[in-house]
Amino acid sequence: MKPLILHPDRLFPSDPRTRAIARALHATVKDLPIISPHGHTDPRWFATDAAFANPSELLIVPDHYVFRMLMSQGVKLEELGVPTVDGSATESDPRAIWHRFAAHYHLFRGTPSRLWLDWVFAEAFGIDVRLEPETADHYYDIIDAALKTPDFRPRALFDRYNIEVIATTEGPLDPLDHHRAIRQSGWGGRVITAYRPDPVMDPDIARFADNVRAFCAMAGEDAGSFAGYLRAHEKRRADFRAAGATSTDHGHPSAFTVHLPRTEIEALYAKALAGPVSSRDAELFRGHMLVEMARMSIDDGMVMQLHPGVHRSHNAAVLARFGRDKGGDIPVSGEFVRALKPLLDLHGNDPRLTLILFTLDEDVYSRELAPLAGHYPALRIGPPWWFHDSPEGMRRFRERVTETAGFYNTVGFNDDTRAFLSIPARHDVARRMDCAWLAQLVAEHRLEEDEAFELARSLSYDLAKQAYKL
C-alpha cells in the first residue's frame, strides 16, 4: 500500500522565503470559522440529522465533479447509481459503485477533486493509504463504519468543521419546510436559504407557465397580471428572508439586462404564459426581470448573485435520462459591459444594492469585471467559480483582478458545492492559495507584511460575511 500524506506545505510557493511567509499567514487563518454563503447542500440533512447512507451515497452519487470525469472515460452513470428521471433501475450496490470509483481514481490526478477527496479521506476519516483498487474495501469499510456513528451525522460535522453559517439554495416553489424544521428543532447551527427564482423567470425552462401559475398561487396572487406576478416575487422573497435568506441567485444564460416600458413587459409576460416564445423574447424577459430583481433588492436588502455563461445540460441524452445538473454543463463566452448597462444606469450607483458577478469566461476578468467592480458602488466580483474553483483558477483570478479592482471589491470565497465534506476541503485550498498569493506580494515588496495578515483574514472570513450581510 502506498501512503496517503497531506503535505503541510501543499500549494505553498517553492521558494523557501516566500513559503515561510505563506506558512505564517496560513497559521492565522486555517482555523477561522467557515462562512459558506452560497452552495447547494440539502437542508434535509440538517433538518432530520439522519446518518448518511454509505460511502457511495455520500461521496460519489451526488457529486457531478466525480461522475462527469468517470463518464468521460466510459463509465456509465447507471453504473454509478445516478438516479434516472423515469425511475428505471441503476446500480444499487454501493460497494460495487465504490469499486468502480476506486478503479478509476487515477483519472483525478492533477484536478482539484483529487485535492478535495484526499483531504476528506485523510482529515475526515483518518485514512493513511492511497485509494487504489487494492484498497477499495479498506476505504469502504472505514468510511461506512464511521458514517454509522453519531460523530458523522450532519449536525456533528457542521460543528466539527467550525461552520458558522451555510446557505443552501432553494427554488421559488419550495415550501421551505426543512428550513422551518431546522429553526423549530432548537439546534444552534445556522443554516439559511437563498432565493433562486430561475424556474419562474426563464421562459426557456420546461413548464415555465405551469411554474408561474403555481408560484403565484403559492403567494396568493393572480398569475394573469404582471403586477400580480411581481407581488408574488416580493412575497416569496419575504418568505425566504424569514428562513434566513440574505441573497438571491440567478443562473441566467447571459448577463443581458433591459428595462422595458410597462406595456411591453406586460405583453411579453402574457405571451410567455400562453406558450413557447422565441429565444429573443425569452432573453428580453430574463433581462427585464434582472432589473426588477435589482429594484427589489434595494427595497428589501437582499444581495444579488448573477452566474451567467453556461450552456446547461449540453448532453441531450444525459438530460433526457438523468435530468439536470449531471455534469453536462459547459462554459461559454461572456460579456458584461454592454449587457449590464441598462441595470447599472438605473441602480449601479446605489450603495444599497450589492450585485455579485461570477463568470466562467476568464478573459473578462481583467477586461470587464475588474474595471466594472472597480468603479460601480453596487458591484462586487465573485470568486473563481465551478470549473475555476481550483488552485490555478484561483491564482489566475488574483492576477487578473487585483490590480484594477483591489481586494475589497471581491467577496472572499464560496464553495458552491453539493458535496458536504468538500466544504472544509475547498476552504482549505482557498485559504492556502490566497496566503500563497499574499506571500508573493510581500516577498516582491508590493505589500507590507502587516497588511498581508489583515488581508489573509479578510479573504478567508470577513469579506464573505460582509458582502452577504451575514
User: Would you call 132 exposed, middle or buried from its count of C-beta atoms within 10 A (0-12, 13-18, 19+)?
Assistant: middle
Tell me the C-alpha distance between 3 and 127, whole Å: 9
What is the average pLDDT value for the chain, to the nearest integer? Answer: 97
Tell me the C-alpha distance between 360 and 251, whole Å: 12
Across residues 429-455, what is the average pLDDT? 98
pLDDT (tens digit per residue) in 107-162: 999 999 999 999 999 999 999 999 999 999 999 999 999 999 999 999 999 999 99
Q: Residue 62: its pLDDT value, please? A: 86
- Of 116-125, 321-330, 342-351, the range with the lowest mean pLDDT is 321-330
Tell me the C-alpha distance between 459 and 304, whole Å: 20
Report the sign of the C-alpha dihedral through residues 215, 218, 219, 220, in that order.
positive
Are 326 and 318 in contact by the 8 Å Cβ rule? The answer is: yes
Say whether pLDDT at 324 is over 90: no
Residue among 246, 60, 112 at smallest CA distance from 166: 246
Q: Residue 348: its pLDDT value, please? A: 98
pLDDT (tens digit per residue) in 399-424: 999 999 999 999 999 999 999 999 99
If pLDDT is split at 50, 70 and 90, which confidence band does 325 have?
Answer: confident
pLDDT (tens digit per residue) in 47-95: 999 999 999 999 999 898 999 999 999 999 999 999 999 999 999 999 9
User: Would you call 125 exposed, middle or buried from its count of C-beta atoms within 10 A (0-12, 13-18, 19+)?
Assistant: middle
Backbone phi and psi for residue 437, each to the nearest 5 degrees, phi listed first: -65, -45
If pLDDT is split at 50, 70 and 90, which confidence band does 380 have?
Answer: very high
If pLDDT is split at 50, 70 and 90, which confidence band does 207 have?
Answer: very high
Q: What are the residues facing 165 on neighbouring strands?
A: 35
Residues in the chain: 470
pTM (global) more than 0.85:
yes
Q: Residue 424: its pLDDT value, please? A: 98
> Would you state the cell numbers that stand for residue 256, as one nine-digit string?
443581458
If pLDDT is split at 50, 70 and 90, which confidence band does 208 have?
Answer: very high
Q: Residue 220: its pLDDT value, please? A: 98
Q: Residue 368: its pLDDT value, please? A: 98
Say whether pLDDT at 265 is over 90: yes
Backbone phi and psi for residue 147, each to the nearest 5 degrees, phi listed first: -65, -20
pLDDT (tens digit per residue) in 216-232: 999 999 999 999 999 99
State what percent of residues in the chain have pLDDT above 70. 100
Q: Residue 383: its pLDDT value, please? A: 97
